[in-house]
């Protein structure tokens, strides 16, 4: 079984990715390799931030690893909050404040289209690869549901009537942006293992 470090200490993300990946590979967190510092996310793109985190782990700890960055892109707001999704309402990264700010910004808007986009950067055997996952949907005016995290209570994916927070992790993990990116990562890893 392939062991890879996932450059995160976000328990939600870690659990979600491990469930999506299943038994195909063993994922270790940053804390498991002794990395407790906050890795800077100073790039202005999702791709840039994912690469910064993966490169940091490789350079400082020597492990092959992958890192992700995810953004909510809202059409009517010019794809904002995007790369700043986690700190949309301020550096304290408060999900409730982020949702309030987003819902307020969309008050009266008829176009509520949005998409979640995840980019995974992988460093393996000295090579860098990028994998992208996108799920289209819309932002609703009021929160619904209690599972998930971040903007999940106000995001309804295309083709569904429930928010990510209402549908539960099992369903979300089969259709989400992160699931799509992780599936591409898995396909690449299994292809690499067969060579």
> Is the bond into 178 cis (omega within 30 degrees of 0)?
no
- The three-state DSSP-derived secondary structure of the chain is CEEEEECCCCHHHHHHHHHHHCCCEEEECCHHHCCCCCCCCCCCCHHHHHHHHHHHHHHHHCCCEEEEEEEEEEHHHCCEEECCHHHCCCCCCCHHHHHHHHHHHCCCCCCCEEEEEEEEEEEECCEEEEEEEEEEEEECCCCCCCCCCCCHHHEEECCCCCCHHHHHHHHHHHHCHHHHHHHHHHHHHHHHHHC
Pairing label, strands 2-6, 65-74: parallel
Is residue 24 annotated as part of the catalytic site, yes or no?
A: no
The catalytic position among 15, 44, 64, 69 is: 69
Return d(Cα 129, Cα 108) in angstroms, integer.
Answer: 41
Q: Could you list the active site residues?
A: 69
């Amino acid at each position: 079984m392939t062991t890879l470090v996932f450059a995160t200490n976000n328990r939600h993300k870690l659990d979600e990715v491990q469930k999506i990946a299943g038994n195909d590979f063993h994922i270790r967190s940053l804390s498991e390799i002794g990395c407790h510092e906050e890795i800077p996310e100073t790039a202005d793109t999702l791709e840039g931030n994912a690469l910064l985190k993966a490169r940091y782990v490789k350079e400082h700890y020597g492990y092959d690893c992958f890192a992700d960055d995810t953004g909510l892109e809202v059409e009517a707001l010019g794809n904002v909050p995007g790369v700043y999704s986690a700190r949309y309402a301020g550096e304290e990264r408060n999900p409730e404040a982020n949702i309030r700010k987003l819902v307020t910004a969309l008050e009266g808007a008829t176009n509520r289209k949005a998409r979640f986009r995840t980019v995974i950067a992988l460093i393996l055997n000295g090579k860098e690869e990028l994998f992208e996952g996108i799920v289209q949907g819309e932002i609703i005016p009021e929160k619904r549901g209690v599972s998930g995290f971040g903007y999940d209570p106000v995001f309804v994916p295309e083709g569904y009537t429930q928010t990510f927070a209402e549908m539960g992790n099992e369903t979300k993990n089969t259709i989400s942006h992160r699931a799509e990116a992780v599936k591409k990562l898995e396909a690449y890893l299994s292809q690499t293992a067969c060579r």
